[in-house]
Chain A
Amino acid sequence: MVQARQRRLTAGSRGAFVGRPGKPGRSRRPGHPARPGRLGTPRRRLLLALLLPGLTLYTLFIVYPLVSALQYSLFRWSGTRQSGFAGLANFGDLFTRYPLSEQVWRALEHNVLFFVGTMLVQNTAGLTFAVLLHRSRRGKRFLQTVFTLPHMVSPIVVGYLWSAMLNPQFGVVNATFRAVGLDALAQPWRGDPNLALPVAICVNAWQWIGFPMLLFGAALAGIPEEYHEAARCDGASAWHTFRRVTLPLLTPAIGIVSVLTFVGNFNVLDLIYSLEGSQGNPAGATDVLGLLFYRTAYQNPDANAIGQSSALAVCMFVLIFGTALAASRVFRRMEDRLK
């Protein structure tokens, strides 16, 4: 409702504005319909001056490198020089050449687990907190601020901070467990291959939980209270109201949070680097695609490091961008069905 109104507003002001004749080009006769000006007209020059700096920066440092990565991936490299067209051979390397062939699948698996774990732990908790905060009044601002505070901390700092706290001997976490007599819970959190990934997921969730909480909070504030009122009058329980009324109306927000979580999780690197090192210790139990990509490019003894890492980059790009795009489309369709 609000969305539609604002869309109309923006569309209206834009329509009334842009199509107006004789606006910017002073040379133009009044009443002449808007058309693209010739090169060199003042209007054209003004537009170029406005657009060109941003366009250049963005194209040169963001778009061009990503396109180049595709080109790099199709060539065989010896050191820093291209030594001939390779077709899809670099992509073949990723899946056939040991140890890459094993590491790629392992890292992908960890990324998928990381995403699933984050959705279950971080986003579920974020939604719960958002719902609870939406109802409560006392301390709401304060709690929101506190929950979001770790979001401001660099993932590198978060990693080092938690690796100190989770230290098996001197760490605060195990010391606390021992102090209250729960010695059995004092685990080598970062060193146990079975625990390392879940621990990384929880540390990551500690940092990011404020984000889903705020997004869901904003979405909840946009749901008219009459809907809940109506459900309550019909005798629906609180849980039923949430399940049948609130949750469906949160579909757009859930979609956005899921897509952003996916993109964030498949780009994760800093946190694992500072928590478990560039190899994803212990024994690769926390290796993820981002780290593997970094190592393939910069810690790879193979002369064809650039070819291989670029092939990996292209695969990751297709995976991340493609999934994000497809998911946004699906969620948009679900959203449309809602209206």
Chain B
Amino acid sequence: MSLPVSTPLPPRRTGAASVADPPRTRAGRPPRSRAAGAAAGVLLWGYAAVALTPLLVMVSSSLRTEADLADRPLGLPLHPVFENYARAWSDGNFSTYFTNSVLVTCGSVLLGTGVSVLAAYALARYRFFGHGVMSAYFLAGLMLPIRLGIVPVFYLLNSLGLIDSRIGLICVYAASGVPFSVFVLTAFFRQLPAELEEAARMDGAGELRIFAQIMVPLVRPALMTVALFQFIPLWNDFFFPLVLIGNSDKYTLPVGLTHFVAEFETAHAQLNAGLVITTIPLVVLFLLATKQIVAGLTAGMSR
């Protein structure tokens, strides 16, 4: 697993797991436990169907016509039509929402990760007055219900002229990712051996150079995890743009969806196309980076 410090557990696949399944469990098992094994299989694969079916229904509905959907709820897209996507993309404004989501999410992740790397480096590699307080201050953010500050956030952005603005949203989003990122990155920076830094200093490298050219490249896997972990909830977030963005040209996908539903109440097939458009990027991301995402999810173990 790529999170050795913040996941205080051995890698699942190599360590205990392989010890746990010696051949003994295969051949010499009594009939009762073989039946139990079969029942477990049925349960697991049965639930896999439950987990997948709704997503397949979503894709299938997006490829059928409105009339077909109303006539045969259980029908399949035997003659798939892509018209729903075309219309949702242009008439339904999903092109705008998609662009906004990409801009806002990527901007937030870059800004949030950027400032977190700097702060985490300071917290991990230097000791200074107020170090403990500062660490605790960042750490406290892990459990703060930040949505409850929405009214003051609104007035704060208003006074900065950032209401109805993607920049304003990016600032709030980037800030919301700071506690988790600082937490994970600090753990990683702490792990790096001191000798590296000493050697670099002997060779005459300055503090900034050590940071940028030696330390940061070494925590690249952690950076990936942290970035992914900001990306997912921010891409999916609905509450902040609902309140902070009033202009539909600047809606992100989740708010755009509610807007679409309110406007085209009966366009079920198109709505499904919109749902797929919203979901696809994260599903692709998840399938590409399953390992990092799983590692990040289980990083909560050490909190």
Contact = CB atoms under 8 A, between A and B. Distances in A.
A182 interface: no
B141 A62 contact: yes
Given A65-B156, A225-B19, A175 B74 contact: yes
B146 A160 contact: no
B278 A61 contact: no
Contacts of B261: 160, 274
B148 interface: yes
B80 interface: no
B156 to A, nearest CB: 6
A176 B114 CA distance: 50
A219 interface: yes
Contact of B43 (A9, A132, A274, A306): A132
Nearest to A58: B178
Interface string A65-96: 11011001000000010000000000000000
Contact of A136 (B40, B54, B145): B40
Contacts of A217: 12, 298
Contact of A266 (B70, B145, B239): B145
Contacts of B197: 17
Nearest to A154: B236
A30 interface: no
Contacts, number: 324
Contact of B40 (A47, A135, A223, A225): A135
A334 interface: no
A294 B150 CA distance: 9
B171 interface: yes
A71 B50 CA distance: 47
Nearest to B49: A146
A39 to B, nearest CB: 11
Interface string B159-182: 000000000000110111011001
B290 A69 contact: no
A135 B20 contact: yes
A60 B151 contact: no
Nearest to B260: A160
Contacts of B243: 294, 298
A47 B128 contact: yes
Chief secondary structure at chain B's binding surface: helix
A143 B50 CA distance: 12
Chain B interface residue bracket vs A? 35 or more
A53 interface: yes
Chain A interface residue bracket vs B? 35 or more
A136 B285 CA distance: 27
Given A6-B8, A50-B121, A160-B261, A321 B145 contact: yes
A306 B149 CA distance: 12
A165 B54 contact: yes
Interface string A128-171: 11001111110100011111111011111100111011000011
A42 B15 CA distance: 46
Given A58-B141, A165-B54, A270-B238, A10 B118 contact: no
Interface string B44-78: 11011011101101100100000001100110000
A150 B150 CA distance: 27
B178 A72 contact: no
B194 A17 contact: yes
B109 interface: no
A218 interface: yes
Contacts of A175: 73-74
A313 interface: yes
A269 interface: yes
B156 A61 contact: yes
B69 A170 contact: yes
A10 B257 contact: no
A267 B40 CA distance: 34
B4 to A, nearest CB: 7
6 contacts: A18-B125, A60-B171, A61-B176, A62-B144, A152-B285, A164-B272
Interface of B: 4-5, 7-12, 15-17, 19-21, 25, 33, 36-37, 40-41, 43-45, 47-48, 50-52, 54-55, 57-58, 61, 69-70, 73-74, 111-112, 114-116, 118-119, 121-129, 134, 138, 141, 143-153, 155-156, 171-172, 174-176, 178-179, 182, 187, 190-194, 197, 201, 207-208, 232, 235-239, 242-243, 253-254, 257-258, 261, 268, 271-272, 275, 278-279, 282-283, 285-287, 290, 293-294, 297-298, 300-303
Query: Which 10 residue pairs across A and B have the least CB separation, nearest first?
Result: A65-B149, A54-B119, A154-B236, A68-B152, A61-B175, A175-B73, A65-B152, A36-B129, A50-B122, A222-B9
Interface of A: 2-3, 6-7, 9-10, 13-14, 16-20, 23-24, 34, 36-37, 42-43, 46-47, 49-51, 53-55, 57-58, 60-66, 68-69, 72, 80, 125, 128-129, 132-137, 139, 143-150, 152-157, 160-162, 164-165, 170-172, 174-176, 179, 206, 209-211, 214-215, 217-225, 238, 252-253, 256, 260, 263, 266-267, 269-270, 273-274, 290, 293-294, 297-298, 306, 309-310, 313-314, 316-317, 320-321, 324-325, 328
